[in-house]
Structure 1
Amino acid sequence: MSSKKLLIISPAFHGYCYSIADGFAQLGYDVHVHRYDAFDGWQAKLRNKVQYEFPSKLGLDGRKAAERHATITALRVLDEVNPDKLIVIKADTLGEDFWQKVADRKIPYMLWLYDDLKRHLYTEEFLREMPVVLSYARSEAERFAAAGANAHYIPNGYDPKLAQLPTHRTEEIVFVGSRYENRVRMMEQLHAAGIPVRVYGRGWSHHPYDRLRMWEWKRPDLPAKRDIPLAQAYQVQAGAAGALNIHGLQAGLAMRTFEVPGMNGLQLIDRPDVSEFYEVGSEVLLYTSMDELIELCRRVIADPQWSDSIREAGRRRSLAEHTFFHRAQKMDQLWV
């Protein structure tokens, strides 16, 4: 008997779609992935800049053209794959034609939001029309359900196949991710306190290409590296003395909440609700103030035996409970 065909339509963002797909493949699905916002190759990247990004910078409606292209491509993939089931992740740039086609096909499908609703173009009214809505935040899933949606809480996870143990350690406290004001302030304060820090990502990088492609020149005066693939980010954070998880104003816990301990890294996190998944103090470290974070960073660097015990405990818990295979198992019970 052949396995059921599953299509995952997802953002290209760090290749998470492939890790999620692997979780479902372990359940026996024949999984196909379409990254609706991917621009592979230099020609596609140039088209994105010229046809979509540059007009938007000039006040023209480049976004609409990008949405039309993404919708047409997604519809073509839907026809080509002809899946038995469908998972759509984010995808708020896909037009009404796509959603109508999905509904007409009468196949089971889910919409998965692994970011806050306020960062999407969807409304609660739209979510009520979905057969299944998944949110990475418990509070948002409860709000959607109260508004009449068939909503469920699916926390983020990680891919253990990418978590190779590092061959060496540094004494740096690292942050890998997007540059927001609260993250800049925190990294600058750590740097000013004498903590060895390093940041990774196009928003932090001092490389001329990264400055130009983000249409800005000024960058924080911090030790910084360029964008790195997800597997390399796992290595960097695992090999650091500590890896920061700085959330800011978001409802759910970020992917790195599970990635850092899962890759044998030592996580310094700002969210008390991490205790739902890890034991604070023995599997992850929680900070509630800048002074507390500075002291934790100093101890992490000075006492590797203590920090190693936290790494090992966090990794065991992650492998046992927080991989994308665990998330796929839960999601697989929700089809309607």
Structure 2
Amino acid sequence: MSSPLRILVVLPLYGGSLPIGRYCARALTSMGHAVRLFDAPVFHSAFTGLKTLELPPSSLGPLENSFLQVLNQGILAQVEQFEPDLVLALAQAPLNRLSLQKLRKAGVRTAMWFVEDWQVFDYWQAYAPLYDVFAVIQKEPFQEKLVAAGQEHAPYLPLAALPEFHRPLTLTAEETREYGADIGFLGAGYPNRRLAFRPLAGRDFKIWGSDWDGESVLAPCIQRQGQRIGEEESVKIYNASRINLNLHSSLKTDRLVSHGDFVNPRTFELAAMGAFQLVDRRRLLPELFAEDELACFDSESELYEKIDYFLSHPEERAQYSRRARERVLAEHTYMQRMQQLLDYVAEACGPWRAAAAQTVIAQPLQELLQHLELGPGASFENVVHRLRQQSGVLSDVETAILFLDEWRRQYRGAGAKCCRVTRG
């Protein structure tokens, strides 16, 4: 696809798919597309604040629904103003059925990347048929069930990494002391993890992340009293740990190593950083990584054995890490996933509409876009927004753009549609 697209990425209010949505937006921007975010998390505190009213469920429920209706009106307003070629929603994005129906009626293409376990989160049954494309991280029997529900366009799209963010770091001595450990884990305290990790208590083991409340055996290992860890800091933690544990979550405790199918984002992110990991074996893992790229375990006993083995064999840890990083950079980046998704949408829904009249960008404007870290498909609005964040003396091109923006505001009104900076 040679022409840049206009893509609205709708983020969830909170949750594990939130950073994935941001990675998708960054990848699409790097690919030269004009990207706008519906940044739902900025409304999260207001949404949760409704609970402080101490209302009974019969009163709180309608209030929460009304709040979500306002968010949907905001999404539709952005669609009307931005005129995207595609609305891409991440799992649990606050797009309701009525909004999806309106988008379909208006001819706006929609896609969701459902980065959830279909057996745990079942809202897909009501929403999947309303999207033009419903990408998933699992295969059968999920895809068969989607067809039965009325969604025939459900490509398998595994997770990925963002190499410019998930990268090897050189840590300071202070950072190494704070984050470093023989064994590290970052994630929520699911029941299977609590039980599997308890035999490691007393070792040089640091646990980072939330939902470890009431865990007495592992309490000395839990860092910062179980506070949430941001994405930036997580990269430092992964780089500092000699062995990163990567046990996929499970609510069940009868089998701590579940041998499930989907592969979590941590697997790709750790590999992209060149950080060593021990990951529980998953059914879909062999088609993503080779045996000599990831060190896997099938049981708790094998996990403990391999921890001891790899702590005493640093050269083998380095070899695994190097090969895993090479595989991610070659095949498992968010830019590759986004291109695969866009190609599938075009295949399922027909070619992308012809771009508006194209003009050749003059060299000064090309240089300005590069300076602002924007792609050639950046909207006029995005260029103005970035310019207003800059400081210093304005160039002739910058002055002209800001003057044009002021003219547009004064004479065309706040509801005018923005021009688009495109290339020939």
Task: Give the TM-score category using the shorter length.
Answer: 0.7 to 0.9
Cα contact 1:68–1:95 (8 A) shared by 2: no
- Unaligned regions of 5+ residues in structure 2, if any? 251-259, 350-424
Cα contact 1:24–1:328 (8 A) shared by 2: yes
Quick one: structure 1 residues 55 and 190, their matched pair in 2 at CA, closer, same or farther if it must change by over 3 Å? same
Task: Give 1:61 deviation, angstroms.
Answer: 5.6
Q: 1:32 aligns with which of 30, 36, 39?
A: 36
Q: 1:258 aligns with which of 268, 280, 285?
A: 268
**1:238 aligns to what?**
239
Q: Does 1:292 align with 2:302?
A: yes
Deviation >6 Å, runs of 4+: none
CA distance in 1, matches of 2:53, 2:271: 40
Task: Give 1:153 deviation, angstroms.
Answer: 0.5
CA distance in 2, matches of 1:118, 1:61: 30
Cα contact 2:293–2:323 (8 A) shared by 1: yes
The secondary structure found in structure 1 opposite 2:308 is helix
**2:123 aligns to what?**
122
**2:422 aligns to what?**
none
Q: 1:160 aligns with which of 159, 163, 166?
A: 163
Task: Give 1:96 deviation, angstroms.
Answer: 2.9
Task: Give 1:142 deviation, angstroms.
Answer: 4.4
Higher alpha-carbon deviation: 61-70 or 78-87: 61-70
Deviations along 1:293-327, whole A, 9 cap, x unmatched? 11111122222111111111111111111110110
**1:202 aligns to what?**
210
Task: Give 1:222 deviation, angstroms.
Answer: 4.0
The secondary structure found in structure 2 opposite 1:333 is helix
Any residues of structure 2 matched to 1:60-99 within 5 Å, and which? 62=60, 64-80=62-78, 81-91=82-92, 93-99=94-100
CA distance in 1, matches of 2:243, 2:54: 41
The secondary structure found in structure 2 opposite 1:172 is strand
- Unaligned regions of 5+ residues in structure 1, if any? 205-216
Quick one: structure 1 residues 50 and 332, their matched pair in 2 at CA, closer, same or farther if it must change by over 3 Å? closer
Deviations along 1:280-305, whole A, 9 cap, x unmatched? 2x211111111111111112222211
Deviations along 1:55-93, whole A, 9 cap, x unmatched? 48x655645533432332233233233322111112365
Any residues of structure 2 matched to 1:242-321 within 5 Å, and which? 242-249=243-250, 251-273=261-283, 274-280=285-291, 282-321=292-331
Q: Please tell me the residue identity of whatever aligns with 1:111.
A: M
CA distance in 2, matches of 1:185, 1:130: 39
The secondary structure found in structure 1 opposite 2:343 is coil
Any residues of structure 2 matched to 1:141-220 within 5 Å, and which? 141-145=143-147, 147-149=149-151, 150-168=153-171, 170-191=180-201, 194-204=202-212, 218-220=214-216
**2:49 aligns to what?**
50
Quick one: structure 1 residues 197 and 141, their matched pair in 2 at CA, closer, same or farther if it must change by over 3 Å? farther
> CA RMSD, aligned part only?
2.6
TM-score (norm 2): 0.68
Q: Please tell me the residue identity of whatever aligns with 1:315.
A: R
Q: Please tell me the residue identity of whatever aligns with 1:196.
A: D
Higher alpha-carbon deviation: 241-250 or 301-310: 241-250
The secondary structure found in structure 2 opposite 1:315 is helix
TM-score (norm 1): 0.84
Task: Give 1:111 deviation, angstroms.
Answer: 1.9
**1:20 aligns to what?**
24
CA distance in 2, matches of 1:51, 1:147: 34
Deviations along 1:114-148, whole A, 9 cap, x unmatched? 00234435253642343211111123234423554
Higher alpha-carbon deviation: 9-18 or 322-331: 9-18
Quick one: structure 1 residues 313 and 64, their matched pair in 2 at CA, closer, same or farther if it must change by over 3 Å? farther
CA distance in 2, matches of 1:136, 1:268: 21
The secondary structure found in structure 2 opposite 1:161 is coil
Higher alpha-carbon deviation: 283-292 or 63-72: 63-72
CA distance in 1, matches of 2:128, 2:63: 25
Task: Give 1:231 deviation, angstroms.
Answer: 2.5
Cα contact 2:72–2:96 (8 A) shared by 1: no
Q: Does 1:110 align with 2:121?
A: no
Quick one: structure 1 residues 87 and 64, their matched pair in 2 at CA, closer, same or farther if it must change by over 3 Å? farther
CA distance in 2, matches of 1:94, 1:61: 22
Cα contact 2:10–2:37 (8 A) shared by 1: yes
Cα contact 2:100–2:131 (8 A) shared by 1: no
Cα contact 2:71–2:94 (8 A) shared by 1: no
Aligned length: 315
Cα contact 1:53–1:62 (8 A) shared by 2: no
% identical aligned pairs? 20
